[in-house]
Structure 1
Amino acid sequence: MNNDPLVFKLATAKNKPSSFRKDKSHSCPFCDVASLDNIYQKEGDLMWLHNRFPTLKDTLQTVLIESADHNGDISNYTKAHNRKLMKFALQCFNEVISTNKYQSVLWYKNFGPLSRGSLVHPHMQIVGLEHEDGYKYIHKNNFTGISVFENERVEVNMALHPVQGYQEININLNDSQNDVAIDNWADWIQIATQYTLQEMYHSRCTSYNLFFYPYESNGKKRICAKLIPRFYAPPYFVGYKLSQRNDKISLEEEGKKLFNFNLMQSK
């Protein structure tokens, strides 16, 4: 397997604003809606546009603004807004895939200072890679694990084969063509982010990444939304690409806590 890294354009990155670095402008370009251009689609305060600072060579880089609220997040949106967001983002993701211009298309979200994001204002990114398979290190067992919840539409588990570790939550959408299933999926993604920030690690987690992986199973198009709590990356992953996970008993206990958290939020 070839290890062909994405090429980062440092000269472009030098001009990017940042919410976290003291030496960068803290002005938020996403709050200044009148100055935004190269907009592909807009639906209320949801907006999909070209990334003004494309820092990766041989890619299409786009940004999806989630809300007009600078401090918004999946964890604090209304259920209706979060459902609308996920349907809008899924539509944009599929639109890039349907062009057939890219070897692979990536969809992800950064939240918090340890997620490697640069801006606080809530947004996702959809990136088309011209020459790279962005999923070459991903396996279907990365989407499996200890069951938390399952019905015909959605399956939620604590990963036994995490991409990085230690307690990744997989929210699998079993039918990406079904609106009701997408709503259920969006609800569980919201519950997972709330749980990660409010309960997991005794509320010490302030950052997460959310990655979306399309795959097919039994003739249906499915998507795994993988929520990864972020701390500093462990050396085994940095140096060897070896993921780690907590022991099975700990993951089972965490899964029960997540299930009970969902019940409490539903009351």
Structure 2
Amino acid sequence: MEHNPSLHTLIYNLDLGRTKPDTVHRDASYCPFCDVAHLKNIMETRGHMIWLENAYPVLKDSWQTLIIESDDCDGEFCEYTPDYATKLIDFGLEKWQQVKEMGRFRSVVFYRNHGYMSGGTIHHPHSQIVGFENYDYHDDIKLYHLLGTPIIEEDGLEINLSTRPIIGFYEVNLILENKEKLPEFVRYMQLVAHYFIHDFVWRNESYNIFFYDFPGDSRLFVKIVPRFLTNPLYVGYMIAQVANKGHQQRVIEKLRTILSERK
């Protein structure tokens, strides 16, 4: 198919977006995710997890849904019990697959935000599943974006530091081949997220988690990215950067130690 730049740009309704509640950047006391009695368009509830349509569908030609992760407004993924975190990710993966099987969308994305710099507007922990009618993220995201220098290699799963990051500088990729190892995989996800907001080389309170699949590949891919001001070379020229080898190696060794000792 001929490359069509217009299909790689999403239209965001700023008029609607400005009406969204914001408990991350503004001192808003009302959290709509805590007010469960007034939530609309709920599609499924599982314990304290709620899958529902986004009340502010700001992206044109898409279907936006949310997963409210818990009833704790100040909860955080890396602090959940391993059992709860596994159940949460399993629930999200199930809903992600369900939306993909609708056949309505060129691609479906699944991701979560945490922190001031992550792009989210609601502090209450939640994930998003969005179906795009005209955009296929596989046109822009390639398998090599999820490969890198190994940190942990086990039977059925791998964790690496991206050598061809999407944006840079540090992106940790987790690859799950054996679905029976999901609990171990999710525990590693928690530890990486915890590292980025507590032990990383820069003061950092924000990160994103992105989920990927690729046609013809049965593996699950996850990318965890610490968030801070985007480097200007990426903003202006889409040039991603990586740290020098020595610094990379120190981060790899630190993460390897954390993942091996705390699991």
The one-letter amino acid of 1:205's match is: N
1:132-166 CA-to-partner distances (Å, cap 9, x unmatched) read 11232211111111111112221000110101110
The one-letter amino acid of 1:2's match is: N
Number of the residue aligned with 2:187: 187
In structure 1, list runs of 5 or more residues that go unmatched. Answer: none
- Alpha-carbon distance in 2 for matches of 1:135, 1:241: 17
Deviation for aligned residue 1:31? 0.5
Deviation for aligned residue 1:67? 1.0
Deviation for aligned residue 1:263? 2.9
Deviation for aligned residue 1:182? 1.5
The one-letter amino acid of 2:160's match is: N
Which of the residues 45, 50, 53 maps onto 2:53?
50
Matched, 1:224 2:227: no
Number of the residue aligned with 1:246: 243
RMSD over aligned CA atoms reads: 1.4
The one-letter amino acid of 1:17's match is: P
Give % identity: 33
1:43-102 CA-to-partner distances (Å, cap 9, x unmatched) read 100111000000011100000111111111111101111010110000000000011110
- Alpha-carbon distance in 1 for matches of 2:250, 2:25: 37
Kept in 1: contact 2:61–2:133 (CA 8 A): yes
Number of the residue aligned with 1:235: 232
- Alpha-carbon distance in 2 for matches of 1:119, 1:240: 30
Number of the residue aligned with 2:207: 208
- Alpha-carbon distance in 2 for matches of 1:198, 1:50: 32
User: Structure 2 length normalisation: TM-score?
Assistant: 0.94
Following TM superposition, where does structure 1 have runs of at least 4 consecutive aligned residues deviating by more than 4 angstroms?
A: none
Number of the residue aligned with 1:3: 5
The one-letter amino acid of 1:213's match is: Y
In structure 2, list runs of 5 or more residues that go unmatched. Answer: none
Matched, 1:156 2:153: no
Any idea what SS the aligned residue of 1:201 has?
coil
User: Structure 1 length normalisation: TM-score?
Assistant: 0.93
The one-letter amino acid of 1:70's match is: C
